[in-house]
Amino acid sequence: MSSVRQQLLEMITDPDTAYAQESAELLPLQLQAAQELFEQRREQIPLVDRRASDAGITEIRLLDDLVPLLFAHTVYKSYPASFIEQGRWDRMLQWLNTLSVTDVTQVDVTGVTDVDEWIDRLWANGHMVLATSGSSGKCSFLNHTRGDSAMKKRHFKYTVGWPFIRSSPTRTVFWLGPLKGPNSAIEAGNFNAENWGRPGGVFALTDQELKISEVSLMAAMRKKMADGTATPDAIAAFEASARAKGQAGLAALNKLIDELLDRRHEPLLISGMWAQHMAIIARARARGIGDGEFHPDTVMNAGGGIKGIALPLDYKEQVHRFYGKVITPGAYGMTEMAQLHPRCEAGRYHRAPGMIWLILDKIGERLLTPADGANGVVEGRFGFLDLLYEGRWGGLITGDKVTVDFADRCPCGRSGPTLLDNITRFSDAGEEDHIGCAGTIDGYIRGALNLS
């Protein structure tokens, strides 16, 4: 790792200083680190070199120079679906190799029967592939190393809870999801359990491992139901299976909730989706438990989980009123991103020194500036170069619509720029997101795989 990259990434161990870095002083260092990383990755990942050659990029001198080098988020699910459907695990390795720093094609996939076994083989060989939920019907697969995972865990240690509280392994942790499986949310759950959980004090929704094959089948079926291609028999079978799993999941959730409520007077770390927190409230009411009974040192995280679920309009207010005066930090992140963006007292998201922001136009081809909005507040597509990754290229154009305030100072008093807490998607789950360069990069990959 380059000395400048190391310098920027090491800053997170003192988060108060890291998130106070002045933009004018930080940018030259970020550009220098980006140049060093670019020199390495274009030698290691042919796609980076191809993008650079086509765009005439030989050096990173400005943020604009990074824009043509960003991968669309869809590139991590650009493999032909037939590779999985037909069990062509060797071809899946070839596809993943086009996006990885180290060679994955030497992994032995003899006897692999499904995608879960394929991922297991990769993990056993040091390629810690994470899979997304696959809401569009296909899962994304992102390679990273054991070193990447260790660095991410360290970042979580100093970021989760900031600026309200520092992590320490002294709390009882309730993670309202699984803690086993190759998924970024599960990875985050384990980081929080290790950084915050006291010995013997970690509780999860289930001990069962998340199976990516089941997630993929579920996502594919939902997509077929949405576009009208699912048969009545297939829909009936899917809904029956979903009901059975839902009933089993509800029993597990209620058991976990009872344990949580029994411990409400001790410091906890509670992480779940808004709908799950509403389920906690309903269970508490049934037990005669009112609002504000939790220990004030409890840390409560909430987010997501409302699509297709009927929640009252004031669900957020109900949740905050129920927990009372506890600690409620927040952060913005995603599977493709190693470094979280913590939310400050003013409700703005801040960037770590090792994260380069690239706010783009809707199609992801032009870098936006303060002049593109009123008073330096601009709406655009979020892109970034995450300087942490060693296993793959960390430059990405996301599907997120963000509002950035380019002001030098956040209302909290720290340096800017900052992201407002109104992040949405450019496309709904299950829809394709159209990004200008996506087709070009997909073409490169198909060429590398000798596909017409």
What are the residue boundaries of the structural domains of the chain, listed by start?
Answer: 165-328
Task: Give the pLDDT score at 438.
Answer: 47
Task: Give the pLDDT score at 439.
Answer: 47
DSSP conformational letter for 105: T
Task: Give the pLDDT score at 450.
Answer: 60
Work out the number of other CB atoms within 10 angstroms of the CB of residue 439: 11
Check whether 162 has a pLDDT greater than 60.
yes
Task: Give the pLDDT score at 452.
Answer: 44
Contact 162, 395 (CB under 8 A): no
Check whether 223 has a pLDDT greater than 80.
no
Contact 366, 372 (CB under 8 A): no
Tell me the C-alpha distance between 292 and 269, whole Å.
16
Task: Give the pLDDT score at 217.
Answer: 75
Check whether 76 has a pLDDT greater than 80.
yes
Contact 377, 403 (CB under 8 A): yes
Mean pLDDT of the chain: 90
Strand pairing class (71-72; 395-405) = parallel
Q: Which residues are CB-contacts of 28 (< 8 A; sequence separation ≥ 6)?
A: none
Between helices 23-44 and 46-55, what is the axis angle to 10°? 110
Instruction: Give the SS3 label for residue 407.
Output: coil
Q: Which of 426, 407, 423 is nearest to 415 (CA)?
A: 407
Residues 308, 364, 450, CA angle at the centre, nearest 5°?
A: 90
> Can you say whether residue 185 is alpha, beta or left, with left for phi > 0 and alpha for psi between -120 and 50 degrees?
alpha
Q: Which of 60, 141, 133, 132 is nearest to 100 (CA)?
A: 141
Confidence label for 178 from pLDDT (cuts 50, 70 and 90): very high
Task: Give the pLDDT score at 240.
Answer: 78
Check whether 233 has a pLDDT greater than 90.
no
Task: Give the pLDDT score at 221.
Answer: 75
Q: What is the pLDDT of residues 27-45, one digit of tens each?
A: 999 999 999 999 999 999 9
Task: Give the pLDDT score at 118.
Answer: 97
Check whether 137 has a pLDDT greater than 90.
no
Tell me the C-alpha distance between 64 and 367, whole Å.
6
Retrieve residue 149's tokens. Answer: 């995972």
Check whether 1 has a pLDDT greater than 80.
no
Contact 277, 268 (CB under 8 A): no
Q: What is the pLDDT of residues 443-452, one digit of tens each?
A: 555 555 566 4
Q: Which residues are CB-contacts of 299 (< 8 A; sequence separation ≥ 6)?
A: 161, 165, 171, 196, 267, 268, 269, 270, 326, 327, 328, 329
Confidence label for 442 from pLDDT (cuts 50, 70 and 90): low
